[in-house]
Amino acid sequence: MSYTVVVRLAVAALLCLVPTVARADRLVFVHANGRVALRPDSRALGATLFGKGREPALSPDGTHVLYWTNTSGGAIEDSSPLMWAEAAGAAPREWRRGNLRSPEFSPDGKQVLFGEMSGGQWSVMSSPAAPQAIPKLLFRAPADSVFHASWQPDGRGILTANLETLFWVALDGTIQRRVAVSELTGGASISSSDHFRLSPANPDRLLFSAEAESTPAMERKMHEGPSSALFVYDLATKTRVRLTGSDVFATDPTWSRDGATIYFHGFRIAGKNSAALPEGILRMDADGKNLQRLAAGSEPGT
């Protein structure tokens, strides 16, 4: 064996010993103090803080943040407007007035989805991502509210659900596909706070949160209430995989923009082979490995 080959093998062996480092995704979330926070690098400790708000969304180029906030007084139909903030730190301004929820930028950053309460029912609205733009009704389920609409990876449609059905909807409002939630979850219950999100890297991989079995220690932690876990369902093979263990509570999942990483809100209780992770923003690889805690907070977005 030549000297050059020996050196190359030695270098390769050393590279295998280098520890995995968390990706440098942009990350927006609700800080533990209730304010919306933005980290240009998810691994960094510092963050730009905006006003108090919920469910923040980050534009694909990382320059703008949308979130909803509670207002005191006034009519209920204007009780939770959407706020628009410059990532550079300028003062947020009201972007859309109403009883609104769950904003999300399209993959190209030109459109925004959000939920609107009207007539006692939540519907999905869309709007150009610009001031003074006029929103339009994109989808209203026949008999029940839908929640947490998200974009399909190609930006040509959306994904939204009620407690019984997951809908694929075209941008003209027509239903392209529907799947029973029970088929995806294996009969496990969901609530309106659970999320369904297609992988940006593979539109057949569906990430979601749902009720799940847990350990006795987790049950005590939850005061005998249900735990929540993250799952991936393969729409092509119709197979479901649980990503988080029974020692982990997990909600609010979202993909990184390349589909390689999952961010979520949760915690891990201590076990025989794992240390506790306090409640906050956690991240892991798309296969559920390399679980880490990043910050105190909730409702992450990338």
Burial code (b: 16+ CB inside 10 Å, e: under 16) for 231-257 equals bbbebeeeebebbbbbbbbbbbbbbbb
Which residues face 118 on adjacent strands? 121
Q: Is residue 224 part of a domain?
A: no
Q: Is residue 32 part of a domain?
A: yes
pLDDT at 86: 93
Contact 152, 203 (CB under 8 A): yes
pLDDT at 223: 73
| Residue 131 to residue 151: CA distance in whole angstroms | 21
Burial, 53: exposed, middle or buried (Cβ in 10 Å; 0-12, 13-18, 19+)?
Answer: buried
Question: Residue 124 is part of which domain span?
Answer: 21-214+296-301
Q: Above 90 in pLDDT, residue 131?
A: no
Number of domains in the chain: 1
| Residue 253 to residue 281: CA distance in whole angstroms | 10
Beta strand segments in 199-296, E: 205-212, 227-234, 239-242, 248-255, 261-268, 277-285, 292-295
- The string of pLDDT tens digits covering residues 62-84 is 999 999 998 765 555 568 999 99
Of the pLDDT bands very low, low, confident and very high (cuts 50, 70, 90), residue 132 is confident
pLDDT at 274: 86
- The string of pLDDT tens digits covering residues 163-213 is 999 999 999 999 999 999 999 999 998 988 899 999 999 999 999 999 998
More confident residue, 170 or 132: 170
Q: Above 70 in pLDDT, residue 24?
A: yes
Contact 55, 68 (CB under 8 A): yes
Q: Is residue 241 part of a domain?
A: no
Contact 208, 253 (CB under 8 A): yes
Q: Above 50 in pLDDT, residue 10?
A: no
Nearest CA-CA partner of 292 in 109, 7, 43: 43
- The string of pLDDT tens digits covering residues 258-298 is 999 999 999 999 987 889 999 999 999 999 999 999 999 99
pLDDT at 137: 96
pLDDT at 215: 79
| Residue 71 to residue 98: CA distance in whole angstroms | 10
pLDDT at 73: 57
CATH number, domain containing residue 167: 2.120.10.30
pLDDT at 21: 44
pLDDT at 271: 82
pLDDT at 224: 65
Q: Is residue 197 part of a domain?
A: yes
Q: Is residue 189 part of a domain?
A: yes
| Residue 210 to residue 19: CA distance in whole angstroms | 32
Q: Is residue 220 part of a domain?
A: no
pLDDT at 3: 39
Q: Is residue 6 part of a domain?
A: no
Q: What is the DSSP string of 94-136?
A: EEE-SBEEEEEE-TTSSEEEEEEEETTEEEEEEEESSTTPPPE
Of the pLDDT bands very low, low, confident and very high (cuts 50, 70, 90), residue 23 is low
**Coil, strand or helix: which one is 139?**
strand
DSSP state of 77: G
- The string of pLDDT tens digits covering residues 209-260 is 999 988 788 878 887 678 999 999 999 999 999 999 999 999 999 999 999 9
- The string of pLDDT tens digits covering residues 46-64 is 899 999 999 999 999 999 9
Q: Is residue 282 part of a domain?
A: no
